[in-house]
Amino acid sequence: MTALKRFPAWGLSVLVLLWAGAADAATLRLAWDANTEPNIGGYVLYYGPQSGSYIASVNVGNQTTHQFTNLINGTPYYFVVRAYNTSGAMSAPSAEVSRRVGVPFSVAGDFTGDRRSDIGIFRPVSGHWFVLGSTNAYTWGAATDIPVPGDYDGDTRMDVAVFRPATGVWYILKSSTTTSVQYTWGGSTDTPVPGDYDGDGKTDIAVFRPATGTWYIFRIGTGTTLQYSWGGSIDTAAPGDYDGDGRTDPAVFRPSTGRWYILRSNTSSGIEYSWGAAGDTAVQADYDGDGKTDVAVFRPTTGAWYIFNVGSGTSVQYSWGGSIDVPVPADYDGDGKADIAVFRAATGSWYRLNSSNGLSSTTTFGGAGDVPIL
């Protein structure tokens, strides 16, 4: 009996979340590429709450989509799919994808709610926020503030927000109610690192203190706190959901050695990668759409992007932008994969490479002095 071919890699571009809102029953729709062999009998989905540990399966017959209902709210699920042929031989599994279900799911940089990252800038000199495609313009923040957009209210759209280092105050304008709220959290030596550290679908207020390597997290949903010691003064904070459980993992990039240190939330265990070098900028994002943040650096001197997909263990490289550009990877075309992109403030140019079709596009928005809000 011959084993079937391995599937092509598949990702969140074909793993679509149909509901939004914590009160809803958790429903998740999966789709995958058909196996190309002629005698396919059907497909089996395997899934479970830990990466690589599949405690349940469902034979869906010969179709390439399946909708799960009655998944458990607030729980991460990891999936792979295998094909079987008419003789009963099984294929190797697909790449694994993951998603936490039953909590609001927002797309980074999506202010308008169309599940695509938006092109937008913060203008420190005037405190203005401008988002392409949004009829709303906001005046929010001052010249010394750092923009920290996030989905703090859990309505799946980004909220306009700034962190004021001098006072440690976070000023948040909730998109759900257009009312403001403020928190005092962190101070002038801290780096703001907002993220959903507890996986409730709401961005949490968080700072990284390089001097002590401490992460201070205020869980906005519960009003309770979390604290981690991870990294130190020679590191750059690089949080992301590297293990794909729907919770942001504390992580740092050490430019001097090109080393990444990641504290995975799903297992409370650390993992390290050597990826990048001194002078590189950390540009971690989910480039292959499997639900896991990928380790990545942008090298300003050459415009090279080096991406290591942590889920599949594969790497990819691009040449895009250069030393005068700010890297702004995000999912502008809405296929679930981060797109390579840079903002050139001098000309207000956004140069993007769409992951969905490999085509480039240029948009002029903003200009010198503006800060991209991603």
Burial class (CB in 10 A: 0-12, 13-18, 19+), 170: buried
Measured from the CB atom, is 82 or 116 closer to Ca ion?
116
Among 118, 286, 325, 370, binds Ca ion (CB under 5 A): 286
- 243 interacts with Ca ion by CB under 5 A: yes
- 249 interacts with Ca ion by CB under 5 A: yes
Measured from the CB atom, is 241 or 280 closer to Ca ion?
241
- 339 interacts with Ca ion by CB under 5 A: yes
Q: Give the integer Cα–Cα distance in Å for 311 and 236.
A: 22
Among 155, 159, 190, 241, binds Ca ion (CB under 5 A): 241
Give 327's strand partners.
Answer: 342
Please report, as residue ranges, which positions from 44 to 103 form the binding site for Ca ion (by CB under 5 A): none
Site size for Ca ion, by CB under 5 A?
Answer: 22
- 337 interacts with Ca ion by CB under 5 A: yes
Phi, psi of 14 (to 5 degrees): -115, 15
Q: How many CB atoms lie within 10 A of CB 133?
A: 12
Among 151, 280, 331, 370, binds Ca ion (CB under 5 A): 331
Residue type, 112: T
Q: Which stretch binds Ca ion (CB under 5 A): 89-97, 137-145, 176-184, 339-347?
A: 339-347
- 153 interacts with Ca ion by CB under 5 A: no
- 155 interacts with Ca ion by CB under 5 A: no
Measured from the CB atom, is 4 or 251 closer to Ca ion?
251
Q: How far is the CB of 225 from Ca ion (least distance, A)?
A: 12
Q: Give the integer Cα–Cα distance in Å for 123 and 139.
A: 9
- Sign, CA dihedral 240-241-247-249, equals negative
Q: Which stretch binds Ca ion (CB under 5 A): 53-61, 89-97, 167-175, 326-334?
A: 326-334
Here the tokens at position 290 are 């499997």
Q: Which residues of 172-205 are buried (b: 16+ CB within 10 A; e: fewer)?
A: bbbbeeeeeeebebbeeebbbbbbbbbbbbbbbb
Token pair 């889920």 is found at: 311
- 118 interacts with Ca ion by CB under 5 A: no
Measured from the CB atom, is 82 or 292 closer to Ca ion?
292
Query: In angstroms, what is the C-alpha Rg of the chain?
Result: 21
- 247 interacts with Ca ion by CB under 5 A: yes
- x/- mask, Ca ion, residues 171-200, rule CB under 5 A, reads -------------------------x-x-x
Closest CA to 122 of 111, 113, 131: 131
Q: How far is the CB of 10 from Ca ion (least distance, A)?
A: 12
- 280 interacts with Ca ion by CB under 5 A: no
Q: Give the integer Cα–Cα distance in Å for 115 and 22.
A: 17
Residue type, 98: S
Measured from the CB atom, is 118 or 288 closer to Ca ion?
288
Is residue 95 a contact partner of residue 9, using CB atoms and an 8 Å limit? Answer: yes
Which spans of this chain sit near Ca ion (rule: CB under 5 A)? 196, 198, 200, 202, 204, 241, 243, 245, 247, 249, 265, 286, 288, 290, 292, 294, 331, 333, 335, 337, 339, 355
